[in-house]
Structure 1
Amino acid sequence: MSVLLLQLAGPLQSWGSTSRFSRRSTEAAPTKSGVVGLLASALGRERTEDLSDLAAMRFGVRVDQPGTLLRDFHTAHHFTTGEAAPVSERFYLADAVFVAGVEGDGALIDELRQALQTPVFLPYLGRRSCPPSRPVYLGVREEPSLLEALNQERWHAARWYQRRRRNEHQVELEILIEAEIGDGPVDNLRDQPVSFNPLHRQYRLRGVHRPPRARVANPAARPVHDPIAALGSA
Structure 2
Amino acid sequence: MSVLLLRLAGPLQAWGSSARFVRRTTEPAPTKSGVIGMLASAAGIDRADDGALARLAELRFGVRIDQPGTRVRDFQTAHHAVTGKSMPLSERFYLADAVFVAALEGDPDHLTALHTALRAPAYPLFLGRRSCPPDLPPEIGIRDTGLQQALRDEPWHAARWYQRLRRTDTAVALTVLSEPGPGEQPGGDTLRDQPLSFSPAHRRHTLRSVITTTVKVPNPRAAPAHSVPRHDPFDAVEEETL
TM-score, scaled relative to structure 1 = 0.94
Pairs within 5 Å for 1:31-70: 31-50=31-50, 51-70=53-72
* CA distance, structure 2, for counterparts of residue 178 and residue 21 of structure 1: 29
Identity of aligned residues (%): 57
The answer for the alignment partner of 1:101 in structure 2 is 103
Pairs within 5 Å for 1:125-140: 125-140=127-142
- Which blocks of at least 5 consecutive residues in structure 1 are unaligned? 229-234
Letter in 2 for 1:24: R
Equivalent residue of 2:19, what SS?
coil
Pairs within 5 Å for 1:213-232: 213-226=214-227
* CA distance, structure 2, for counterparts of residue 140 and residue 56 of structure 1: 17
* CA distance, structure 1, for counterparts of residue 143 and residue 107 of structure 2: 13
Q: Cα distance, 1:225 vs. partner?
A: 1.4
TM-score, scaled relative to structure 2 = 0.91
* Higher Rg: 2
Q: Cα distance, 1:69 vs. partner?
A: 0.4
Q: Cα distance, 1:179 vs. partner?
A: 2.3
The answer for the alignment partner of 2:157 in structure 1 is 156
* CA distance, structure 2, for counterparts of residue 130 and residue 184 of structure 1: 32
* 1:15 counterpart = 2:15: yes
* CA distance, structure 2, for counterparts of residue 32 and residue 87 of structure 1: 28
The answer for the alignment partner of 1:189 in structure 2 is 191
The answer for the alignment partner of 2:2 in structure 1 is 2
* CA distance, structure 2, for counterparts of residue 37 and residue 183 of structure 1: 27
Which whole-Å deviations, capped at 9, do the CAs of 1:33-66 have from their partners, x for residues lacking one? Answer: 0000000000001111121100000000000000
Letter in 1 for 2:224: P
Q: Cα distance, 1:184 vs. partner?
A: 6.5
- 2:187/2:209 contact within 8 Å kept: no
* CA distance, structure 2, for counterparts of residue 179 and residue 93 of structure 1: 26
* CA distance, structure 2, for counterparts of residue 123 and residue 20 of structure 1: 25
The answer for the alignment partner of 1:232 in structure 2 is none
- Give the 4+ runs in structure 1 shifted more than 6 A: none
* CA distance, structure 2, for counterparts of residue 126 and residue 136 of structure 1: 13
Equivalent residue of 2:127, what SS?
coil
Q: Cα distance, 1:224 vs. partner?
A: 1.4
* CA distance, structure 1, for counterparts of residue 186 and residue 36 of structure 2: 25
Give RMSD over aligned pairs: 1.2
Q: Cα distance, 1:122 vs. partner?
A: 1.3
- 1:124/1:130 contact within 8 Å kept: yes
* CA distance, structure 2, for counterparts of residue 115 and residue 172 of structure 1: 32
Q: Cα distance, 1:167 vs. partner?
A: 0.8
The answer for the alignment partner of 2:121 in structure 1 is 119
The size of the alignment, in residue pairs, is 226
